[in-house]
Amino acid sequence: MALERVALLDGKLSNWIRRFLKLPLFVQCTVIVAIAVLATASLTLAFYYVFFRDRLALDLVLSMVIAVLVGYPLSRVFLKQTAQLIKMTDELERISRIDDLTQLLNRRSFFAATHSEIAGAQGEESAGALLFIDVDYFKALNDTMGHSAGDAVLERFGTALSACLQEGQIAGRLGGEEFAVFLPYMGKEEAGQLCKKIREEISLIPKELGLEDWRLTVSIGVAVQRTGQNLEELLRSADLSLYKAKFQGRDRTVYFQDADLAA
């Protein structure tokens, strides 16, 4: 219990420090110097009240002036370096979680976030629906239009996919032209509506990028999590659905059925 309290206190302190360091540097320095001045004045007041009461006013003013002259530049240097260090730490953390090209979660972060959602599901309710998305004939796009065009398509794909989602829904790039989306507490019908929206948005990308001669489509495999089904099983179900979508000719959405496991 004591360790939990210490950890909670440490977390609250860390959050408070981060909020404080988001303030303008001038405000940060002013707050710290003000605290230093009050502390210095309090100590001076206590000391001189006991020993040198006749010099109290003059020495109180002098101690406060010294605290300002010394404390402000020191606090400015320290806080500026601390702010830069935290900014670098946050950026490194972001880079470790985000795919640089699409600005979606990378594979590891996507699976971690999805696992957390499934593990947190309670009762008889499904945790949600998983979408596996594959850009059709992407290798041919790279070979025909060049890798720079392929990168532009993936970058725009990430933006379009994010625009289709609502808060709390999770999207990630699994690698290459493969993507995944997890929709917490969403069923087959709602997932199907979103798939339609995604397919419509993706079809507009070639025109936006000046690739009118290329028709961009995606294949989507959808699996709705069953109560008690873990992430690995859900991933397999969505992957089987995506395979069927590609086998049936691509440019379509296929939903997982229990019978698929016997196929």
Side chain identity at 201, as an amino acid letter?
A: E
The set of long-range contacts for 94-100, using a CB threshold of 8 Å and a minimum separation of 24, is: 99/158, 99/172, 99/173
Q: What's residue 49's pLDDT?
A: 60
Q: What's residue 192's pLDDT?
A: 94
Quick: pLDDT tens for 12-60.
556 776 776 677 777 777 777 777 777 666 666 666 565 555 555 666 6
Q: What's the token pair of residue 172?
A: 């990630």
Classified as helix, coil or strand, 206 is helix
pLDDT-based confidence at residue 177 (cuts at 50, 70, 90): very high
| Residue ranges of domains in the chain, CATH in brackets | 2-97 (no CATH), 107-262 (3.30.70.270)
Instruction: Establish whether 177 is a catalytic residue.
Output: yes
The set of long-range contacts for 256-261, using a CB threshold of 8 Å and a minimum separation of 24, is: 256/221, 256/222, 256/223, 256/224, 261/237
How distant, in Å, are the alpha carbons of 20, 21, 44, 62, 84 from that of 32?
11, 12, 18, 18, 18
In angstroms, the CA 176 to CA 247 distance is 19
Q: What's residue 257's pLDDT?
A: 84
Beta sheet of 253-255, edge-to-edge order: 170-175, 178-184, 128-135, 218-224, 253-255
Quick: pLDDT tens for 89-137.
666 666 678 998 999 999 999 999 999 999 887 666 789 999 999 999 9
Using left for φ > 0, alpha for ψ between -120 and 50, and beta otherwise, residue 176 falls in left
How many other C-beta atoms lie within 10 A of the C-beta of residue 90? 11
Q: What's residue 52's pLDDT?
A: 56
Question: Catalytic pick from 155, 177, 189, 208?
Answer: 177
In angstroms, the CA 42 to CA 10 distance is 28
In angstroms, the CA 69 to CA 76 distance is 12
Has residue 3 got a pLDDT over 50?
A: no
| DSSP labels, 227-261 | TT--HHHHHHHHHHHHHHHHHTTSSSEEE--GGGG
Q: What's residue 66's pLDDT?
A: 63
Quick: pLDDT tens for 190-230.
999 999 999 999 999 999 999 988 999 999 999 999 888 88
Rounded to an integer, what is the distance from CA 182 to the centroid of its chain?
14
Strands 218-224 and 178-184, bridge-based pairing: unpaired
